[in-house]
Amino acid sequence: MSTLFDPVKLGTIELANRVIMAPMTRSRADEQDLPTDLHVDYYRQRATAGLIISEGAHPSKDGKGYCRTPGIYSPEQVVAWKKVTDAVHAEGGKIVCQIMHVGRVANPENKASDAETVAPSAIQARDKIFTNSGMLPMVMPRALTTEEVGTVIEEYRQATINAFAAGFDGVELHGTSGYLPAQFLSTGSNKRDDQYGGSLENRLRFVLEVLEAMCSVDGAAKVGLRICPGNPFNDLQDDDPQETFATLLDAIDPMGLAYLHIIRLPKGPVDNLALAAEHYHGELIVNDNYGCEEAQSVIVAQKASAVSFGRAYIANPNLVRRFQENIALADFNPGTLYTHGADGFSDYPNAD
């Protein structure tokens, strides 16, 4: 019988335990979208996790949406990320790079002056986004041409090449939170009339081709996918998320991915865990508000291979030890989640 603290293998990635650090935007990158020495400390401190999934890194200037987020598209970014992965590996940890193109979820204040905001269709997200000037409306995106869709898919492939050059143990495609892959999947944001829009088969095409491009770099066993069917975040609308994601999971099931990372949504229109159990037969990471006891029960019952924790990892760098020794969790300061500097980022102490 496996427990939360036993080893597990996700594809070709061997984990010392099943406690996963979930990806979390923390807005500490520099003006060139580079991770800094703060990131080296932050991720090294949390390297006892079975696996760290990095904050979302954009595959191009156009793919950036939030302020002070890191990229994975330039040689300088590869060098900067290599310092992070080396630090994690020196502590015996494993880390994958989450690749995140936000599509229409953006405001120009957060992007380079020569960057665009692009999406499947020219439909503005009816929401606001955090900037250094406060909350500002998301802008009207420009619809990608069919040729440009192919260019974006190539950007994901190159970002995967860059991630492995930077020393990451794998990559994860961010497929939820209303970002570009979810925009292609959803009827409310995809009104295209080419092979990437219209029918469900066409709406799935972008995500499947991105995954194929990422898998082409070093095999599917180093590639994961994160989804949350029915998630309305960032003004995402789909007529039938149950059908959309059941069909998507049927399509990716034979690909041999390292894992599926699924977020449960207790009040959503889809039972995401049941959907995954029915339509996906590979390694599963589950996420969203799990405590240690519930996570342990999920592993013992073989309902998932691992459990990821987000907020708990902010103020508890050695979360695994706290779970093992039943040490109370420290609370994080919500006021420093997205600010500058070490305060509320890399300055949380260990349990001892």
Quickly list DSSP for 104-123. T---GGGS-TT---EESSS-
CB 310 within 8 A of CB 26: no
**For tokens 């293998």, what's the residue?**
9
DSSP reduced 3-state for 102: coil
CA distance 167 to 57: 14
CB 51 within 8 A of CB 15: yes
Q: Which of 73, 179, 196, 348 is catalytic?
A: 179
**C-alpha distances in Å from residue 41, one per residue of 21, 45, 265, 322:** 15, 6, 32, 19
Could you tell me if residue 15 is left (phi over 0), alpha (psi between -120 and 50 degrees) or otherwise beta? beta
**C-alpha distances in Å from residue 218, one per residue of 80, 173, 352:** 22, 15, 40
* Whether residue 179 lies in the annotated active site: yes
CB 104 within 8 A of CB 189: yes
Which residues carry out catalysis?
179
